[in-house]
Amino acid sequence: MFKFSSFKNKYRNRYYYIRSFYEIYIRYIFINFIKIIISPFAILFIPFLIIIKKKGYLFITDIMSGVGHIIPEFDYFYLNQNKNGKSKYIFINNGNSNYKFLEKIYVFDKIYSGNLFLLLVTAINFFNKSKIKCSQTLPDHNMPLNFFSKYYKKNFYFKYYDNYFKLREQNKSFFYIKKNYFEINNKFLNYQKIACIHFRENISHSIPTISNPSNYLKTLEYLLNKNYYIIFVGRERMPIEFKNFSILNYAESNEVSLLNDFKIFYASNISIICGSGISYIPDTLEKKYLYINSWHISRPGGYGNQSIVLPSLINKIDENKILSFKEQMILENSGNHLSSHYLNKNKYQLVYPTDINILNATKELINLDENTKFNSLQIKFINDYKNYGFLKNSKARISASFLDQYSKLFD
C-alpha cells in the first residue's frame, strides 16, 4: 500500500526541491487570479478607505508568518513607526499562531484575522497609500507580472533590508526592548551555559541540498566537553547522528512555539543556525550565533552585530573550480525574484563547511565579545563586496579561519 510519508522520506531532497520550486509559482498564480477577480470591485473599497484614513489608520498587510519574515518585518514596522507621525494601525492577518504571539507582546490599535483575510488584503493592496510597508521581500507595486519582470530585480528588496539594518544601527530591536518578557517562567535560565543547535533536513533557497549532519559532531563533542547544555531547536527532525549525544530535542517536543523559541534563545550563550530565518531570534535579542551552510554569501542571517557567518562555497562542475567570492555573489544575485534563488545543480555543486570549519568558527563565536575587532581579511571582505546583497549595513563578520583558508577566492 502506498504511503505518502514513506515516499516523502525516501525522496526527501527531491520532494522539498519540487515543493519549494513550484509552490511559489502556484501561489503566485493563485494570488494574481484573486487580484483579477477582485479588481473590478476594488473601487467599492474607496469610501471605506477614505473613512479609515480620516480616522488616522494605516493597514498592516504584508507581515508574513514564517519566522524569517515575521521577526524582521514586524521589527521594521516597529522601528519605522515614527516616520508616520500619529498614525494608528490595523493589523490584518490569517490567524496563524505566530501572529497570536505578536498580538500578546504588542498592542495593535485594531486587529482583523477573519475568514475574509485574503480578499481584504488583496483589495487593500490596490491602494498603497492606505498601508505601511513592512516586508523586506514582497513587492511594493502592483504590476500584474511583477515577479517575472525585469523591474523586480534582487536589488529591489535589498533596499528594504538596508533600511532595516540602518534602523537597527540606531535603535535596539523591539524584541531586545521586550527581553524581560522572555524571562517570565523561563525554566531555561536555570542552566549555566546553553548552546542552541539548528539543522535543516529540508531544502531552502539558501540551502538547495541537504547538508551533512556528521559535520556537526566534532562541535557537539567540544561543546559538551565545555559543559554546555545543548538544545536542538527549530521545527525539523533531529538527525540520527545527534542522538548519541546528550541533547534536549525541543524541536520535536509538544512545547514548540514562537514564544518558547524566544525564551530558549534568550537563555542561550551561543547558537548554530543552518541557513534559516530562525537566526533573527538571536539576532534581535543580540545573542551570539553562527550562521552556517548558506550559499547566499552576501546575505548574512540578520543585522549580525553578534554573529559569525560560515558560508557554503560553489563548485562549477564542468571546470571543477570553486567560484571566487565575487563570482559567487554575482551568481547568487542574478535573475528575478523567483528563479535566482534556485541553484542549477547540473552546473554547480555546493561545498559545505567541513567539521573542522564548523568547530573553528564555533571557537571564534565563543570568544567573540563587543571588543573583538575585525581582522584584516574580514575588513577586506566587507570593503570589497559591500555593494552586493545587504552586506553594506550588516555588522556580521565572516569566520576568520574560513577567510584565512580561502583567501585565494578574493578577486
- On whether the CB atoms of residues 336 and 201 are closer than 8 A, the answer is no
**Residue 99 CB neighbours (<10 A):** 21
Q: How far apart are CA 298 and CA 159, in angstroms?
A: 14
Separation CA 83–CA 268 (nearest Å)? 34
Are 278 and 379 within one domain? yes
Nearest partner of 307 among 250, 263, 357, 372, judged by Cα: 372
| pLDDT tens for each residue of 363-387 | 999 999 999 999 999 999 999 999 9
Could you tell me how many residues make up the chain?
Answer: 411
Give bridge partners of residue 283 from the DSSP assignment. none
> Which residue matches cell numbers 536555570?
190
Same domain? 196 vs 125: no
Domain count of the fold of the chain: 2
Q: What's the confidence (pLDDT) of residue 143? A: 46
391-407 pLDDT, tens digit per residue, is 999 999 999 999 999 99
pLDDT of amino acid 208: 80
CATH number, domain of 234, equals: 3.40.50.2000
> Which parts of the chain register pLDDT below 70?
1-25, 27-28, 82-85, 139-157, 335-342
**Residue span of the structural domain in which 317 resides:** 177-409
What pLDDT does 201 receive? Answer: 83
Structure confidence at residue 344 (pLDDT) = 81
pLDDT at residue number 157: 60
**Of 171, 194, 229, which residue is a domain's last?**
171
Give the residue among 109, 147, 141 at the shortest CA–CA distance from 127. 141
**What φ, ψ does residue 385 adopt, rounded to 5°?**
-125, 20
Q: How far apart are CA 136 and CA 129, in angstroms?
A: 17
Q: Are residues 165 and 259 in the same domain?
A: no
Distance CA 232, CA 244 (A): 13
Return the C-alpha cell found at 198. 539548528
What three-state secondary structure class fits 99?
A: helix
CA dist., res. 186 & res. 260, Å (int):
8
213, 231 Cβ separation under 8 angstroms: no
Global pTM value: 0.92
Query: What angle, 0 to 180 degrees and rounded to 10, lies between the N-to-C axes of helices 325-332 and 376-385?
Result: 40
Domain's final residue, options 144, 171, 198: 171
Structural domain contains residue 16:
no
